[in-house]
Chains A and B, each alone.
Chain A
Amino acid sequence: MDAAIQVEGVVKRFGPTRALDGLDLVAAEGRVLGLLGPNGAGKTTIVRVLATLLEPDEGRASVLGLDVVSQARAVRREIGLAGQFAAVDELLTGRENLRLFAGLFRMGGREARGRVDELLERFDLLDAADRPAKTYSGGMRRRLDLASSLLTSPRILFLDEPTTGLDPRSRNQIWAVVRELVEEGTTVLLTTQYLEEADHLAHRVAVVDQGRVIAEGTGDELKDQVGGAMVHVRLSDAGERDAAVVALGRLGCAGAQPGDVGTDLIVPAPHDGVGMVAEAAAALREAGVGVSDLGLRRPTLDDVFLELTGQKTDEPASPPEGEEEPEAAAGAPA
């Protein structure tokens, strides 16, 4: 069977810039492949190549076995695209936007109307359906854009940074939709700057830097490469360091490292989640160790990058706050 998405040695140059520099990628049908990389890594460029918007200079790429250059027309029948910047017609209402694209997807009048209403409902846009899209919030625009790309229930969906710049609620809505689509059998290629997002949604993650894939695996595998979550402890008294190390060692936190300050202690966590912070707090309290701050820090894209390339990313890549566990510093008073 053909892979849903296959990219082999694709090169794309823009003047002196090699936006894609021999990129290889394979996505299995019915799964989510996450492309993780900082700004300028080439994520948008590869999405545009796969969506037939851009011809590669070298290499080949195919979608469901169809070549994106020589069989572009056939590829377009199978794909949905939600680009990095919502392609929403601001002067039209949400409903008019969807109707227009439904017509251009060559859906018949009745079929189009039914599908448009269904999508407006699913994306929580019914109330705003007859307002011009320029009055929509960022999250609503994103949802309308995503709805536009789903009119024909494509088998392959490209999502280019679908949650960048969104508030947590909108982000969670988008995440929920992506999970539903995957349950229905859609293959999704998702780009993101957030390891957390890739981790949440993607079955496999490819880390992209300077137009190449520099690492690939499941979210856990990638995090293992950078050492997984770490417990950060700030001791009230640097003299209690050894007692703290012993107490934490009983929880399975082996290999403590000193932090930037003498009172700081950084220990790899055997598992992440809020429970870890509570367990560590309890263990330290039992051992009578005074703690002024305690938190769990999961690896960020920066850590993955530092580990993989030895370079810091240019951008501060902190994920948007979410409904999930607090990102860091679940401060536990001693």
Chain B
Amino acid sequence: MNAPRALVGEDGLLAEAGWTLRDCALVTGRNLRHFVRQPQLLLFSTIQPVMFILLFSFVFGGAIGATLPPGVDYVDFLLPGIFIQSSAFRASQTAVGLAEDLQRGVVDRMRSMPMSRAAVLVGRTTADLVRSLFVVALMIAVGYLVGFRFTEGVLAAAGAVVVVLLFGFGLSWIFTLVGLVTDSAEAAQSAGFVAIFPLVFASSVFVPIETMPSWLEGFAGVSPVTAAVDSARALSLGGEVSDPLLLFLGWLAGLLAVFVPLSVWRYRRMS
């Protein structure tokens, strides 16, 4: 179908890569504009995690705090968990946004154009990543108001935020496929809830997994959610980083290796 192409030159692979990046940037910009034009949606997606921070730290703080190692405040323990939990809940928005575009025919127009085949998907997941950054920044600000502190320095704190964003980005690609397959916003959202809810609760998001029955602890111990939470938590508060981080990066690489190509394949063959 395609003749072998030169690396450089007007029609070379490098030029093509440049165009692809530009296409992705344009679609990302368009999606970000959507967020700005619907401030009420942005508000809702930040209210929920903020509510979780306040409710969990004040309601469960006393009870769960007792199970934590001495000297660890529940709010410090909780915040990295809530970062991950809210990323997980928000990830289904990727499917919702994609499904809406599919229903409105905007994607049809883009698929009939000589633009990059990946741009619609990359633009969606990247815009959702930028939104996550915004939400996480706001959560950190609220966290600081209720007593949360990063204790490991600026670099480690930035590392924790990167882990949270990458976790959300990886899940976004699962929901990209979900959005492409269901092409209905409501279906995508309910599919998301059913899958995400148990994963989030059977993990170290809210409680140390040692407090769980052993069969559940076994499951939670290898869960990507626990790996992400423990990495973010260690980078925020100190503790063993490399083990959970390696497990997390393994999960992330695996998720992306499976769901990016599957999504692109599905997008190309859509009817």
How distant is the Cα of A52 from the Cα of B269 in the complex, in angstroms? 10
What's the tally of chain A residues with a CB closer than 8 Å to chain B?
33
Residue of A55, A73, A104 near B26 (CB, 8 A) is: A104
Give the shortest distance, in Å, between B106 (CB) and chain A (any CB): 5
CB neighbours of B109 from chain A (8 A): 81, 83, 87, 101, 148-149
How distant is the Cα of A87 from the Cα of B34 in the complex, in angstroms? 16
Q: Of A89-97, A259-267, A302-310, A321-329, which binds chain B?
A: A89-97
Decide yes or no whether B37 CB sits under 8 A from chain A: yes
Decide yes or no whether A70 CB sits under 8 A from chain B: yes
**A89 x B106 contact (CB < 8 A):** yes
Per DSSP, are chain A's interface residues mostly helix, strand or loop, or mixed?
loop
Decide yes or no whether A106 CB sits under 8 A from chain B: yes
How distant is the Cα of A100 from the Cα of B110 in the complex, in angstroms? 10
Interface residues on B, range: 20 to 34
Q: Of B57-65, B112-120, B207-215, B222-230, which binds chain A?
A: B112-120
Decide yes or no whether B23 CB sits under 8 A from chain A: yes
Contact count A vs B, C-beta below 8 Å: 72
CB neighbours of B111 from chain A (8 A): 52-53
Knowing A91-B37, A92-B30, A92-B33, say if A104 contacts B105 (CB, 8 Å): no
Give the shortest distance, in Å, between B129 (CB) and chain A (any CB): 20
Nearest residue (CB) in A for B116 is A104
**B34 x A91 contact (CB < 8 A):** yes
Knowing A76-B114, A92-B33, A132-B37, say if A87 contacts B106 (CB, 8 Å): yes
Decide yes or no whether B240 CB sits under 8 A from chain A: no
CB neighbours of B271 from chain A (8 A): 14, 48, 53-54
How distant is the Cα of A119 from the Cα of B234 in the complex, in angstroms? 56
Give the shortest distance, in Å, between B4 (CB) and chain A (any CB): 16
Decide yes or no whether A103 CB sits under 8 A from chain B: yes
**A86 x B105 contact (CB < 8 A):** yes
**B269 x A55 contact (CB < 8 A):** yes
**B30 x A53 contact (CB < 8 A):** no
CB neighbours of B119 from chain A (8 A): 104
Give the shortest distance, in Å, between B99 (CB) and chain A (any CB): 15
CB neighbours of A76 from chain B (8 A): 112-114
CB neighbours of B106 from chain A (8 A): 87-89
Give the shortest distance, in Å, between A98 (CB) and chain B (any CB): 12
Binding site for B on A (CB under 8 A): 14, 48, 51-55, 70-71, 73, 76-77, 79, 81, 83, 85-92, 96, 100-101, 103-106, 132, 148-149
Contacts beyond the supplied A53-B270, A92-B37: 6 A-B pairs with Cβ under 8 Å:
A53-B108, A83-B109, A85-B104, A87-B106, A103-B26, A104-B110
Binding site for A on B (CB under 8 A): 1, 19, 22-23, 26-27, 30, 33-34, 37-38, 104-106, 108-115, 119, 269-271
Q: List 26 A-B contacts (CB under 8 A).
A: A48-B108, A53-B111, A53-B270, A54-B271, A76-B113, A76-B114, A81-B108, A83-B109, A87-B109, A88-B104, A88-B106, A89-B106, A90-B104, A91-B34, A92-B33, A92-B37, A96-B33, A101-B113, A103-B22, A104-B23, A104-B113, A105-B113, A105-B114, A106-B22, A106-B114, A132-B37
